[in-house]
Amino acid sequence: MSNDLAFKSLGLCDYQETLDAMKYHLGSEQFYDEIWFVEHPPVFTLGTAADQKHILNAKGIPVIQSDRGGEVTYHGPGQLVIYFMIDVKRSKLGPKILVKTLQEFTKSLLKEYSIDSEFIDGAPGVYVNEKKIASIGLRISKGKTYHGISINVDMDLAPFSYINPCGYEGLKVIQIKDLNNKANIKDVERLAIKLLEPIF
Residue 61 lies in a domain: yes
Domain assignment of residue 23, given as a range = 6-196
Residue 173 lies in a domain: yes
Residue 105 lies in a domain: yes
In this prediction, residue 73 carries a pLDDT of: 97
The total number of structural domains in the chain stands at 1
Residue 125 lies in a domain: yes
pLDDT in tens, the chain (200 residues): 445 799 999 999 999 999 999 999 999 988 999 999 999 999 999 999 899 999 999 999 999 999 999 999 999 999 999 999 999 888 778 888 999 999 999 999 999 999 999 999 988 899 999 999 999 999 999 899 999 999 999 999 999 999 999 999 999 999 999 999 999 999 999 999 999 999 98
Give the 3-state DSSP-derived string for the chain, with helices as H, strands as E and coil as C: CCCCCEEEEEEECCHHHHHHHHHHHHCCCCCCCEEEEEECCCEEEECCCCCHHHECCCCCCCEEECCCCCCEEEECCCEEEEEEEEEHHHHCCCHHHHHHHHHHHHHHHHHCCCCCCEEECCEEEEEECCEEEEEEEEEEECCEEEEEEEEECCCCCHHHHHECHHHCCCCCECCHHHHCCCCCHHHHHHHHHHHHCCCC
Residue 92 lies in a domain: yes
Among 187, 146, 152, 183, smallest CA distance to 166 is for 152
Of the residues 22, 166, 176, 185, only one is catalytic, namely: 166
What does pTM read for this prediction?
A: 0.96
Q: What CATH number has the domain bearing residue 183?
A: 3.30.930.10
In this prediction, residue 135 carries a pLDDT of: 96
Residue 1 lies in a domain: no
The answer to whether residue 166 is catalytic is yes
Residue 103 lies in a domain: yes
